[in-house]
Amino acid sequence: MRHVLHRLAWVACPVFSSLAGCGAGATEASAPAAGDSGGGLAGSPAPGGDAAACDRLAGRLQAALDAAVRAQDLPGAAAAVDLRGCSFRGAAGTANIEARTPLAPGDLFRAGSITKTFVSTLVLMLRAEGALSLDDAVSKHVKGIPGGERITIRQLLNHTSGLFNYTESDGFLRAVDADPTRAWRPEELIAFSAAEPPRFEPGRGFSYSNTNYIVAGSIVQAVSGRPIVELLRKRILAPVGLASTYLDGAEPAVPGLVHGYGSYDGELVDTTSAVDPSTAWTSGGLVSSAGDLTTFFVRLLDGGLLGQAELAEMTAWVSTGSDDARGYGLGLARRTSPVGTTYGHGGSVWGFVSASYCAVDRDATITVLVNHEEGDAEKIVEDLFHVLKVP
């Protein structure tokens, strides 16, 4: 499909101590609320919560989501908000423009680079078990990485390796444009990076690179001796109950993926299946729902998946040189918001953008998924945090 494969980074805008305060939200969906917002849900109280207060908050969150979709002229968006005492699941707009299918809160979207937080979590689990060290040279586990004897696993995860971003390679873009349906092996994606000079010497700068997480995924497989999709399901998806999440192209799809769109030459183009999902793999290949992603970040940052030592490593920040992102850890970004510091990640991939952040001082976690690749999911997250800020 021509003119679809522009230089999407498949990342968030560079996206972050104490982790207490991100895990008190309930996760149950509640009954549909009245209105024309395409599937918004009323607030669901946690045990002991105030149902009427949750319903009032849900109405304000749904109104903010509706307004954001209109303001950005988006096909649609889904949102999930968990905070102390209340849970909200909402949607606005359209899942399939041609069929005029309204979006529902539980619909599935491509999650893009939020995938990186899942992969980093697996690496840190292996580290906790003594299977690897973050200071191991990449070459100890995976061969054929330029400078791999000088790049550490830590530098992969915090984007200080200097490895060229394969999705910015002209060779990669030409190859995928020539055959969008081709399935790619990780080593083939890495080869596009290897053909380009590194951005800098390892540890001498920050440059967001999807190559880092293709290599990280390869290390997880090499160390564990198992396909990464098997570890994802066994170690994260099944224990946390993320029934709507899967690694696209590596396992059977879960029904419910909405259509994703892009704007080209003034026309809205369906880019849902523009390229084979193997082009993103462990740098951005997850499909998920807003509720699943919110639940994941709540569990992760509340210590439900990693111990305190691993969470401390994940939140050891390096400077990104960005005004938006105040630091990047190991598959985790630190940002500012209307309610203070947030930890999370975002992503963009053909047809979709995503953002999921926890406000560490407010017991509030918000995920927004958008089915247009030029949408600003992080702006909508901020809009919803503004709602929480208002008394």
Supply 376's token pair.
Answer: 């600003």
Residue 322 confidence class, pLDDT cut points 50, 70, 90: confident
Supply 332's token pair.
Answer: 């985790």
Contacts of residue 232, defined as CB under 8 A and 6 or more positions apart, other chains included, come to 118, 122, 247
Q: Which residue has the higher pLDDT, 266 or 38?
A: 266
* pTM, to two decimals: 0.91
pLDDT in tens, 179-228: 999 999 999 999 999 999 999 999 999 999 999 999 999 999 999 999 99
β-pairing, 76-83 with 364-370? antiparallel
Give yes or no for residue 9 having a pLDDT over 60. no
Residue 325 confidence class, pLDDT cut points 50, 70, 90: low
Q: What is the pLDDT of residue 323?
A: 66
Domain 44-389 has CATH 1.10.10.10: no
DSSP 327: E
State the residue for tokens 């980074």. Answer: 9
DSSP 168: G
Q: What is the pLDDT of residue 362?
A: 84
Residue 46 confidence class, pLDDT cut points 50, 70, 90: low
Find the mean pLDDT for residues 329-358. 95
Give yes or no for residue 386 having a pLDDT over 70. yes
CA dist 343 and 327 (Å) reads 10
Give yes or no for residue 376 having a pLDDT over 70. yes
CA dist 3 and 51 (Å) reads 49
Task: Indicate the average pLDDT of the chain.
Answer: 89
Q: What is the pLDDT of residue 43?
A: 61
The ranges assigned to domains in the chain are 44-389
Give yes or no for residue 235 having a pLDDT over 60. yes
Amino acid at 39: G
Give yes or no for residue 7 having a pLDDT over 90. no
Find the mean pLDDT for residues 125-134. 98
CA dist 294 and 278 (Å) reads 25
Question: CA 361, 289, 58, 389 torsion: positive or negative?
Answer: positive
Q: What is the pLDDT of residue 32?
A: 29
Q: What is the pLDDT of residue 50?
A: 82
Contacts of residue 256, defined as CB under 8 A and 6 or more positions apart, other chains included, come to 106, 107, 108, 244, 289
Give yes or no for residue 44 having a pLDDT over 90. no
CB of 320 closer than 8 Å to CB of 328: yes
Q: What is the pLDDT of residue 371?
A: 98
The three-state (H, E, C) secondary structure of 27-40, written as one string: CCCCCECCCCCCCC
- Reported as type and span, the H/E element at residue 344 is strand 340-349
pLDDT in tens, 52-94: 999 999 999 999 999 999 999 999 999 999 998 899 999 999 9
Catalytic residue set: 113
